Amino acid sequence: MKKNLIYILTCFSLLIISCEEDPIPADIKTLIFGKIYDSTNTIPIVNEKVKLAEYSTKGTFAGTNYIFKGFIDSTRTDINGDYNLPFITTGNGNKYQIQLDFNEQVHIPNLVEFIRDENIGNREELNFEGLRLYPVDLRVIFTDEITQEINVYKQFPERLIDPIPPSTQNTLRRIWIDKNVVNEINFQIGTTSPYLNHFIEIPINNTTELYEYEVEISSTDFQ
């Protein structure tokens, strides 16, 4: 009898957990607004795309599962970095989220923000901090032959740049960097154990214009 009761309770719990939560009713008007701003360089982030995503939720033993229903609407920031995104609920989901696209020219640490449930039908302000990055053409000249592929990593924001093929003599990579700090670049040979690395630094150059930075590398630089 006790085993049967445990079995029934377990099945009932699974039934409850596996059901999607009720959607928010349709035709509820809500306004989301805010700003994307680069406080380091004291400039607005202009023409950045802002999208509104809709989800439904389902409880699981591991937590809440978010089921993507689609994008409801989108807009772009104006010349002041401001955006306004009014929307009307569809009746298909119960969670709404502001999403920003990945952009290699702007570093935004947090690309998504959920709208609070209590603000559906009202207004909510969601602001994002961004950092405008500026272009540098990184020219790499090899003084001897390196027969392995070389991975190239940029420090901030941390990102893998296109690898350098084996036996390359001269190559150019455009990267986007923070002009306010020294930028470290890591060249890594990943076919060895342990990996071999060579680090270079691009010094601060407080310019917004494209410029070329040249480095020479030999096989003996990798440690």
pLDDT tens by residue, 152-201: 999 877 888 889 999 999 999 999 999 999 999 999 998 888 999 999 99
Alpha-carbon gap, residue 175 to 109, rounded angstroms:
18
pLDDT above 60: residue 16: no
Q: What is the pLDDT of residues 49-86, one digit of tens each?
A: 999 999 999 877 667 899 999 999 999 999 999 999 99
Q: Given a cut of 80, is residue 12 above it in pLDDT?
A: no
* Model pLDDT, residue 20: 67
- DSSP code per residue over 42-88: TEE--S-EEEEEEEEEEEETTEEEEEEEEEEEEEE--TTSEEEEEEE
Q: What is the pLDDT of residue 134?
A: 96
Whether residue 28 has pLDDT greater than 50:
yes
Give me the torsion for CA of 84, 90, 95, 97, rounded to 10°.
Answer: -30
pLDDT at 35: 99
Q: Which domains are present in the chain?
A: 29-131 (2.60.40.10), 134-221 (2.60.40.2630)
Q: What is the pLDDT of residues 30-52, one digit of tens each?
A: 999 999 999 999 999 999 999 99
Residues written for the chain = 223
**In the predicted model, is pLDDT for residue 15 greater than 50?**
no
Confidence of residue 19 (pLDDT cuts 50, 70, 90): low
How many C-beta neighbours within 10 Å does residue 17 have?
12
**201 CB burial (10 A radius; 0-12, 13-18, 19+):** exposed
Give me the pLDDT at residue 6, please.
47
Q: What is the pLDDT of residue 192?
A: 82
Q: What span, in angstroms and rounded, lies between the C-alpha atoms of 161 and 152?
A: 5
Look at residue 174 and give its three-state secondary structure: strand
Within 10 angstroms of residue 156's Cβ, the number of other Cβ atoms is: 14
Closest CA to 150 of 131, 163, 137, 136: 163
Q: pTM (2 decimals)? A: 0.82
First to last CA, the chain: 68
